[in-house]
Amino acid sequence: MKIKNIVMFLLIILASIGFVLAIAELPPYGMPDNPIHNGVYDRYVGDAISETGSINIVTSIVLDYRAYDTMFETIVLFTATIASVITLKKSKRGEKDR
């Protein structure tokens, strides 16, 4: 048990070194000319007010540009709720609780 934990920690440290070597090659943090701030960013920031009427751009993305995403998100939430209720429900018909 102890030996297994130590081996696991060594493996995790090895993987973390790989992750750190990967993040060192990412574009520098917080710069305005990073590749993540591309034409999509310009479109959302520039046209969100005139196209959706919301001053909060996150709201306009969640509820207008990507509304299907939000709709299926609510379906995911609903399915998880129903699955939890069915899992916790006591079984009827007097059968043994399995």
Partner 1 sequence: MNKLLNKILINYPYFFAVILFAIGVATIVTRSNMFKKLLGLNIMESAVYLMFIAAGNIRGATEPIITDSNAGSTIINPLPSALMLTGIVVSVSVTAFALALILRMYKHYGTTDAILIAEMRDKNEKWGNK
Q: Applying CB under 8 A, does 25 fall inside the site for partner 1?
A: yes
Our CB check for partner 1 shows the closer of 76 and 93 to be 76
Query: CA-based Rg of the chain, rounded to a whole angstrom?
Result: 24
- Core vs surface per residue 47-69: b (16+ CB within 10 A) or e: ebeeebeeeeeeebbeeebeeee
Residues near partner 1 (CB under 8 A), total? 49
- Mask: binding to partner 1, 50-89, rule CB under 8 A, as x and -? -----xxxx--xx---x--xx--x--xx-xxx-xx--xx-
- CA distance linking residue 83 with residue 76, whole number of Å: 10
Measure the CA–CA gap between 72 and 55, rounded to whole angstroms.
Answer: 24
Task: Summarize as ranges the residues that interact with partner 1 (CB under 8 A).
Answer: 5, 8-9, 12-13, 15-16, 19-21, 23-26, 28-32, 34, 36-37, 40-41, 44-45, 48-49, 55-58, 61-62, 66, 69-70, 73, 76-77, 79-81, 83-84, 87-88, 97-98
